[in-house]
Structure 1
Amino acid sequence: MPLDWKLVIDCEDPHRLAHFWERALGYTAEDNSAHIERLHSMGAITEGQIATDDRHGGRKAWRHAAAIRHPHDPVDPDTGAGLGRRLLFRTVPEERQGKDRLHLNLHPGPDAREAEVKRLEALGATTLRVVVEPGGHLVAMADPEGNEFEVR
């Protein structure tokens, strides 16, 4: 039986990065507002753990985390968390150092690669280098916080 998963990405601003990747991948931002309000009303979390998500109608969100999910995957109705393919962005105190040990490869196909790179740049990505080698062509890019990914 296949497992549900989430890739956790450490970052400075989880809401900004989640918004970038939501638009880049065509994913859906998770709505945890009902769960957050329930926990807050029970006294299980404090006001300091809650943020306002201005990009999604001002709903309540986690201050130090934001997640996006594949739009066709199921959702836990109690928490709003995706139950399939997810990216979770969480705040960490240290700055990013060195090359990423894990990265996403996006596959729009050779005919759509150039247009996809331009679209991602308009969303805030940066092109790092173009690699053309026997058996492959890719564009190495970085998201708004410098996390690398490839468009193939």
Structure 2
Amino acid sequence: MTLGWKLVIDSGNAPVLADFWAEALGYVVEDPSALIEQLLAAGRLPEQAVTEHNGRKLFRGYAGVRHPDDPFDENSGVGHGRRLLFQDVPEPKSGKNRLHIDVHAEPGELEKQVARLEQLGATRVNEVDRGPVGHWWVLRDPEGNEFCVA
């Protein structure tokens, strides 16, 4: 059995941040278009609750990404396994994250992985070298959320 979970991340632009993290982690952006179309057709969802991004209808203020190998509901696109859900909030990020993601590079490929993430929109913050304990980079995603690459 696959353990279902989601990490919810506050954002300023959920679809854009979902795109970044899907590329960064090799995940798939969830596609709720079919469910949204059904809800709109039935009059159960107002048009103002819907937005479009990259040709897909999304619930305004929300976007999810899921691991490509995990099961998902074909009607809603929602994953039943490892997923991240981005939700727009009115206030900007303030302070350091209390929880962050660690991205693991292949052995000897730390700089290559950091450069790939920079091309996606991440920025370097700090290099940490603890000798035999570990060597990693602290980066920020496009909205300033810290994460590590080791």
TM range (shorter): over 0.9
Aligned-residue CA RMSD in angstroms?
Answer: 1.1
**Among 129, 145, 148, the residue aligned to 1:147:** 145
User: Structure 2 CA distance, aligned partners of 1:62 and 1:5?
Assistant: 20
User: Structure 2 CA distance, aligned partners of 1:94 and 1:110?
Assistant: 39
User: Structure 1 CA distance, aligned partners of 2:56 and 2:99?
Assistant: 31
Who is 1:126 aligned against?
A: 123
Counterpart of 1:70, as a letter, is H
Are 1:14 and 2:18 matched, yes or no?
no
Q: Which runs of 4+ in 1 moved over 2 A?
A: none
Structure 1 residue 20: Cα displacement:
0.5
Are 1:106 and 2:88 matched, yes or no?
no
User: Structure 1 CA distance, aligned partners of 2:37 and 2:105?
Assistant: 39
Question: What secondary structure is seen at the aligned counterpart in 1 of 2:83?
Answer: strand
Structure 1 residue 2: Cα displacement:
5.5
**Among 62, 66, 88, the residue aligned to 2:63:** 66
**TM-score when normalising by structure 1:** 0.94
Structure 1 residue 117: Cα displacement:
0.2
**TM-score when normalising by structure 2:** 0.95
Relative distance call for 1:2 and 1:72 in structure 2 (3 A) is: closer
User: Structure 2 CA distance, aligned partners of 1:86 and 1:59?
Assistant: 19
Who is 2:53 aligned against?
A: 53
**Among 46, 55, 73, the residue aligned to 1:76:** 73
